[in-house]
């Protein structure tokens, strides 16, 4: 099993502001933990590339790209909303984050890796068509899904989002599209307010959105039940040709920004479920992009568990 790991020190240049939870230490901590594992040398390093704006415009308005670039280069403290802190380098870093999945996809389609994980920032799943939101500038996972379809001819794509916050931007990107099944487990009611169980898609995409809202205090048992009763039956019926994971690790019991109580080991369990889905339906093709996770130790250990499971080496 060849597992690609994408990382670049340029991701550290994005500065969301003093005391902002989305800070460079998230990546530094996770990368250092990975580099100290005995299986580190088995991973295939993958370099990101800056995304061509035409791929970003499969998900975002052209005017939004202009506004994002101008806001960063003119020294504004945030983009659109106060929680999306930016710096002069943030637009360029966001372009790199948006291109990360594309670089992994090319390596996977080319047969150089079997699956992969991108240790990137800023995250993406809250970013809407024409608005930054929730620490996110560009919707990295949505851009990747459209790239797979339009560049590599992939038909049906599963996006599983296990970040503790609902991926409103990803849902809205595909809610009228039956070719992308968006599945989310998230604390509810909670930020950003979307993700009710009744949100199941619209028009031709009706039924292609599956939200599994979780109450505060839920943990491994409740998540496992959601997988067995709702997620796995829906995913197997859909039979995806490619599996994508919006891999936020802020549902961990130690994370300070929410109230879900997943164990580190449960991220391995969820990873195994998605590997099995990918093996059954998608020729093993699976890519995972980092979203949230704000306790440095919990993030590092959870990322390590996830990557080890992808690589088939155990945690």
pLDDT of 18-31, one tens digit each?
Answer: 999 999 999 999 99
What was the pLDDT predicted at 1?
75
What was the pLDDT predicted at 254?
98
Find the helix or strand (DSSP H, E) in which 180 lies: strand 180-187
How far is 142 from 173, CA to CA, in rounded Å?
Answer: 7
Domains of the chain: 3-311 (3.40.800.20)
Q: Per-residue pLDDT averaged across 4-20, rounded?
A: 98
Sort 214 into a burial class: Cβ within 10 Å, 0-12 / 13-18 / 19+. buried
Per-residue pLDDT band for 314 (boundaries 50, 70, 90) equals: confident
- Ramachandran area for residue 37 (φ above 0: left; ψ -120 to 50: alpha; else beta): beta
pLDDT digits over 237-249, tens only? 999 999 999 999 9
What was the pLDDT predicted at 315?
60
Question: Is pLDDT of 81 > 70?
Answer: yes
Q: Per-residue pLDDT averaged across 255-274, rounded?
A: 98
Over the chain, what is the mean pLDDT? Answer: 98
Question: Is pLDDT of 7 > 90?
Answer: yes
pLDDT digits over 271-308, tens only? 999 999 999 999 999 999 999 999 999 999 999 999 99
Q: Report phi then psi at 123, rounded to 5.
A: -70, 180
Let me know: does 30 contact 144? Beta carbons within 8 Å: no
Active site residues: 126
- The C-alpha R_g of the chain, in whole angstroms, comes to 18
Question: Is pLDDT of 41 > 90?
Answer: yes
Q: Per-residue pLDDT averaged across 203-213, rounded?
A: 98
Q: Per-residue pLDDT averaged across 185-208, rounded?
A: 98
Q: Give which of 44, 248, 90, 281 is closest to 165, Cα–Cα.
A: 248
How far is 152 from 83, CA to CA, in rounded Å?
Answer: 35
Q: What whole-number percentage of the chain has pLDDT above 70?
A: 100
Question: Is pLDDT of 87 > 80?
Answer: yes
Question: Is pLDDT of 108 > 90?
Answer: yes
């Amino acid at each position: 099993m060849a597992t690609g790991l994408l990382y670049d020190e340029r991701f550290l240049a994005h500065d969301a502001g003093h005391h902002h939870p989305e800070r460079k230490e998230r990546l530094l901590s996770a990368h250092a933990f990975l580099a100290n594992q005995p299986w580190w040398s088995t991973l295939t390093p993958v370099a990101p590339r800056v995304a061509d704006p035409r791929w970003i415009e499969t998900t975002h308005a052209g005017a939004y790209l202009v506004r994002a670039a101008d806001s960063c280069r003119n020294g504004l403290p945030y983009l659109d909303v106060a929680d999306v802190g930016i710096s002069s380098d943030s637009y360029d870093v966001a372009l790199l984050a948006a291109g990360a999945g594309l670089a992994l996809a090319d390596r996977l389609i080319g047969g150089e890796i079997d699956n992969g994980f991108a240790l990137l920032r800023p995250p993406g799943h809250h970013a809407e068509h024409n608005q930054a939101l929730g620490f996110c500038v560009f919707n990295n996972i949505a851009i990747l899904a459209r790239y797979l379809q339009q560049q590599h001819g992939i038909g049906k794509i599963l996006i599983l989002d296990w970040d503790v916050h609902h991926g409103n931007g990803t849902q809205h990107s595909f809610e009228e599209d039956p070719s992308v099944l968006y599945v989310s487990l998230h604390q509810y009611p909670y930020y950003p307010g979307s993700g009710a169980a009744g949100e199941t898609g619209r028009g031709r995409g009706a039924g292609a959105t599956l939200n599994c809202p979780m109450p505060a205090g839920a943990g491994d048992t409740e998540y496992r039940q959601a997988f067995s009763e709702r997620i796995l039956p829906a995913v197997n019926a859909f039979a995806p040709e490619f599996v994508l994971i919006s891999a936020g690790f802020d549902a961990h019991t130690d994370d300070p920004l929410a109230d879900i109580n997943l164990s580190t080991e449960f991220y391995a369990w969820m990873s195994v479920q998605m590997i099995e889905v990918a093996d059954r339906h998608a020729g093993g093709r699976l890519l995972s992009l980092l979203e949230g996770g704000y306790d440095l130790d919990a993030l590092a250990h959870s990322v390590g568990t996830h990557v080890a499971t992808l690589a088939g080496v155990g945690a």
